[in-house]
Amino acid sequence: MKLKVNLISLGCPKNLVDSEVILGRLGEAGYAFTSLYKDADIIIINTCSFINKARSESYKIISRIACQKSPSQKLIVCGCLPQLKKRKLFLRYPQIDALIGSADFYKIDKIIEQLLEGEKRLFSVNEPRFLYDSSFPRLLSTPPSYAYLKIAEGCSNHCSYCLIPYLRGRYRSRPVEDVVKEAKALVNLDIKELILVAQDITFYGWDKGEKSALIQLLNELEKIDKLNWIRLLYAHPLHFTSSLIKTIATSDKICRYIDIPLQHTHNEILVKMKRPKFEVAERLIAKLREEIPGVTLRTTFIVGFPGEKDKHVNKLLKDIERIKFEWLGAFTYSPEKGTLAYSLAPKIPLKIKKRRYAQLMQLQQPITLNFNQEKVDKVYSILVDKENEGHTEFQAPEIDGKTFLKEKHLPGESFSGKILQVKNYYDLVVEKSG
């Protein structure tokens, strides 16, 4: 009888790709899978540790499973939390059988073999240098309509608040030909949309001195016949070139959707964050809207950064109201040991952080509502993800909510994985904004 594996994946789409590689590797090794951890012989938790909220979620899940698992079940914790906390997790959770770092997941099959042979407390947390390639099988966990395609690992930006360079290592781009090979394999599975992800997608190739690598990659992906949509997530304003804008503007497949986390708009805060000054982002936004008609912009901001004053927040709010990002998310600042910002002062009380977050999101809600209302009585392409749910070109799946199709759009057959032309956006319902 095949041993059963249950995998719980936490965090971002980049981490989800790692989880899918783990599943692919174990599937190739002959393991079976179950969605119920109580039915599993081996439980794997792929953790996130980007901010305190992510760590809290990871701890919560580990605690629940550690307390409820049977003595015969093996518990493996991998990803960013072991990379950060290392062997301390063994002290906190004696029930853990193995700890695997963020770049050691490719050893998962060997580690399980060792556990089954009776070895205990296995530890494999090394300098994050590994980069998976197209030779690794993946077991997709996304709907049949789209898949994530991770084109690089790590980050070399060293923003003052961010742990990613420590957790994931320096930026490492995959070769263009290898990414294209994986893309073709995914499209052969009838995937219609590929969502390109990296910590900074616009830095792709720059670590190798190849500043046009992303454009080269996009040009190659466009040649894949059955691929309909290409979506870019997590762009850094400093690395977004005029040539890339032109490539997006002239493409039939690249979604007119740009995700540029800006973090703040006041230069005094941006300098402390070690982010580019706001004038850089503002010029880019103007150019994007001018050269890519109908482009949808998403951004993310941090409130409550050390030293943030009311004047900083007031400028941020005025800029949001003036620029009118179609989609916007926000975080309250999370102090992270090991980052440059951790020692900065003065600290902002949690109560004030929450108030500023609420102000920001309250301001954004009518902006996003108006954006959606403008879609009424117009025809849009909907990529159906499952049953009567899907998303548009201006909605990143699992980020910008869902589009619900009414029954009249589904005449008795499954359209999952297909693109439909649907009129009247508010015949569809956006689940959430922000």
CB atoms closer than 10 angstroms to residue 372: 18
How far CA 273 is from CA of 300, 306, 348, 377, 419, in Å, comes to: 14, 10, 15, 43, 41
Q: Residue 373's pLDDT is what?
A: 84
How far is 242 from 264, CA to CA, in rounded Å? 23
How far CA 169 is from CA of 50, 173, 225, in Å, comes to: 13, 12, 35
How far CA 15 is from CA of 199, 219, 425, in Å, comes to: 11, 26, 32
Burial classification of residue 300, based on how many CB atoms lie within 10 Å of its CB (0-12 exposed, 13-18 middle, 19 or more buried): middle
- Are 160 and 270 in contact by the 8 Å Cβ rule? The answer is no
Residues of the chain with CATH 3.40.50.12160: 4-124
Q: Residue 386's pLDDT is what?
A: 85
How far is 42 from 58, CA to CA, in rounded Å? 18
Residues in the chain: 434
Q: Residue 426's pLDDT is what?
A: 45
**Buried residues in 133-147 as b, exposed as e (16+ CB within 10 A):** ebeeebbbebbbbbb
Q: Does the structural domain 4-124 have CATH classification 3.40.50.12160?
A: yes
Residues of the chain with CATH 3.80.30.20: 146-369
Q: Residue 15's pLDDT is what?
A: 96
β-pairing, 42-47 with 74-79?
A: parallel
Q: Locate tokens 């002062």: which residue? A: 345
How far is 335 from 73, CA to CA, in rounded Å? 35
The model's pTM: 0.94
Q: Residue 433's pLDDT is what?
A: 34
Residue 367: partners with Cβ closer than 8 Å, 6 or more residues away: 320, 321, 324, 325, 326, 328
Write out the DSSP string of 175-222.
PHHHHHHHHHHHHTTT--EEEEE-TTGGGTTGGGT-TTHHHHHHHHHH
> Where does 146-369 sit in CATH, by number?
3.80.30.20
Give the pLDDT of the chain (434 residues) as one tens digit per residue.
799 999 999 999 999 999 999 999 999 999 999 999 999 999 999 999 999 999 999 999 999 999 999 999 999 999 999 999 999 999 999 999 999 999 999 999 999 999 999 999 999 999 999 999 999 999 999 999 999 999 999 999 999 999 999 999 999 999 999 999 999 999 999 999 999 999 999 999 999 999 999 999 999 999 999 999 999 999 999 999 999 999 999 999 999 999 999 999 999 999 999 999 999 999 999 999 999 999 999 999 999 999 999 999 999 999 999 999 999 999 999 999 999 999 999 999 999 999 999 999 999 999 999 998 887 777 788 899 987 788 999 999 999 978 877 655 555 456 778 888 775 444 444 433 33
